[in-house]
Structure 1
Amino acid sequence: MYDVIGLVIPFFGLIFVGFIAARITRRPLDDLGWMNTFILYVALPALFFQLLSNTPIEQLTAWGYIFGSVFSTFVIFSLMFVASAVLSRGDVAQSTMKGLAAAYGNIGYMGPGIALLALGEEAAVPVALIFCFENIMHFAIAPTMMALSGGKHASPAALALGVVKKIVLHPFIIATAIGVAAAALEFRPPMPVERLLDYLARAAAPCALFAMGVTLALRPLRGMPAEMAPIAMLKLVVHPALCYVVLSWIGDYPPSWVYAAVLLASLPTATNVFVIAQQYGVWVERASASVLVTTCLSVLTVTALLYLITSGLLPPDLFPGR
């Protein structure tokens, strides 16, 4: 248990430091803009490039693994979406946001840091694969469902173009594509460039976690919406459990790959859910609440999951020898 605490304290500690710093300094959230730019456009892309460019190309085409992790996330989204649509009598926009809150984990800011810290460099490839393909799914779902809700009257061609642009032009996905190309060509950048990329990659997780703590501090929770309980249960418990079962059923993957997928599935609601809610003017305050509530609860759930993994109580394959 001491080893688990040693993993969790630096990770969640950075979020807490950001939270306290924001409470003490009382600077507006807009002041975080340049740090978010650095994280989004520089540090995390450098991290993903470094992870993928050093990977044998055959490891980057594990389609069964990609399908299993993305399918698990889609099932969670669908469960929350359908339940909300039934209860709200067909409110597609609000149900979409609830589905995203239950399924869209903080795999960008939190994922690489905790997976690499807990599982080592061998978790780099599965983290990058899951991040890339799950974000493609989320980038496609949000604008499509919002268009179906009637919030924005765009032609099918304009909608499709918007979805493609969100996917193709996202800095993480561009970095992933360049990293895969570098791996295929066995290209290594010159030593000074590689050293710069290393510095940037090492800054990604600390800066992202600090920024997340600041964001949580400056978006206070006003009341506890009733839907937070099922969202938190789906995101923090059901999602990782389903991912574990599906990947165990699909194939015989290395333990670090299975554990990386389960860890990423266990992460709290992504701050991007709040950004999407603001973009469409739907469910904004409750999206912020879902990020805050699931992040606070994840201190307990992620710690418990790490304990199960590090103590050997969670086997890497639920169906060995199948």
Structure 2
Amino acid sequence: MQGFIVIGVIIGIGYLAARANVGGPTAQMVLQRFAFFVATPCLMFTLISKENLADVATYILDDPAAVTPIVLMQQVIFTPMALTALDISTTGKSSFAATAKQLAHQPILIGVLCGIIVSAASAGTGVFLVPQFLYDPLNIVGQAAVPLILCAFGMSLRGARPLANREGRQATITAAALKNAFMPAVAFALASALGFTGHNLYACVVLAALPSAQNVFNYAARYNAGTTFARDGVLLSTICSPVCILAIALLLN
């Protein structure tokens, strides 16, 4: 609950800033674009570059408590696929060359790949190759990514009426149900089949029940595609998630 309160307070700050017209009518767009093109790539680079990629393999086999491999899989596989699909749908270009070019222009993917390269090179030499005076400013900027995204999300709620659109209401509710209820059920089935029990099983199910990431809205806003659906889905998922996690805690006690 403390974690959700932290998220809610930052979203509330963004909402109040929008009500006070801090930054003018383009403030939300500026925050979203800075988070997408600058802060999030820095965050991905600083997180991954200091991770030992060999320990990722250890996690996959033995230690399901670590979250880094999940982040790697999301940022290296799923996010590029989603952003490429958004690129193609907004530009209308679907050739192999156009797709490869679009991948090269995705700042988050570039941050992830640079982080992987530095991590692998540092593991090979035994020395972290990025000087501290360069790593520190990148890390500081990266730490701003989550607050910027949350504040921008809060700004988007100013004057909005979530779930007001009847046509998209059913889709939004379905998406939240899939994220908060169906996904934990699948995680429970898979983790049980893999032999996980006790705290490890509980951790897998709880991670699956976490709300849809604010990045979903940030990506939608970046490409101006389905922003209302993304905003309402993230909001409903965030509201329902604590209830679902409480139910999971009671069921798996």
- TM-score with structure 1 setting the length: 0.60
Give yes or no for the alignment of 1:242 onto 2:181.
no
- How many aligned positions are there? 239
CA contact (8 A) 2:43 2:138 kept: yes
| Structure 1 residue aligned with 2:220 | 273
Give yes or no for the alignment of 1:209 onto 2:153.
no
Distance 1:32 1:131, change over 3 A: same
Query: For 1:1-322, what aligned pairs fall within 5 Å after superposition?
Result: 5-25=1-21, 29-60=25-56, 122-142=66-86, 146=89, 152=92, 159-186=95-122, 187-217=128-158, 220-221=161-162, 222-225=164-167, 226-227=169-170, 228-246=172-190, 249=193, 255=200, 258=204, 262-263=208-209, 266-267=212-213, 270-271=216-217, 272-273=219-220, 275-276=222-223, 278=224, 287-307=226-246, 311=249, 314=252
Q: State the Cα distance separating 1:27 from its structure 2 match.
A: 5.8
SS at match of 1:217: coil
Distance 1:305 1:230, change over 3 A: closer
Q: State the Cα distance separating 1:307 from its structure 2 match.
A: 4.1
Unaligned runs of 5+ in 2: 123-127
What letter is aligned with 2:189? V
Structural RMSD (CA): 3.7
What letter is aligned with 2:166? M
Distance 1:242 1:223, change over 3 A: same
Distance 1:37 1:303, change over 3 A: same
Residues of 2 paired with 1:298 and 1:216: CA distance? 15
CA contact (8 A) 1:269 1:295 kept: no
After superposition, what is the alpha-carbon deviation per residue over 1:248-298, rounded to whole angstroms, capped at 9, x for unaligned? 54686994984685256744782223554x46xxxxxxx333223223322
Distance 1:176 1:14, change over 3 A: same
Distance 1:41 1:289, change over 3 A: closer
Q: State the Cα distance separating 1:173 from its structure 2 match.
A: 0.8
What letter is aligned with 1:173? L
Compare 232-241 and 249-258 and name the one that shifted more.
249-258
Residues of 2 paired with 1:9 and 1:35: CA distance? 22
Structure with higher RCO (Cα < 8 A, 6+ apart): 1
Distance 1:267 1:207, change over 3 A: closer
SS at match of 2:130: coil
CA contact (8 A) 2:52 2:120 kept: yes
Q: State the Cα distance separating 1:237 from its structure 2 match.
A: 2.7
Distance 1:305 1:48, change over 3 A: farther
SS at match of 1:195: helix
- TM-score with structure 2 setting the length: 0.74
Unaligned runs of 5+ in 1: 66-118, 280-286, 316-322
CA contact (8 A) 2:211 2:237 kept: no
Distance 1:137 1:200, change over 3 A: same
Residues of 2 paired with 1:302 and 1:131: CA distance? 23
Distance 1:266 1:242, change over 3 A: farther
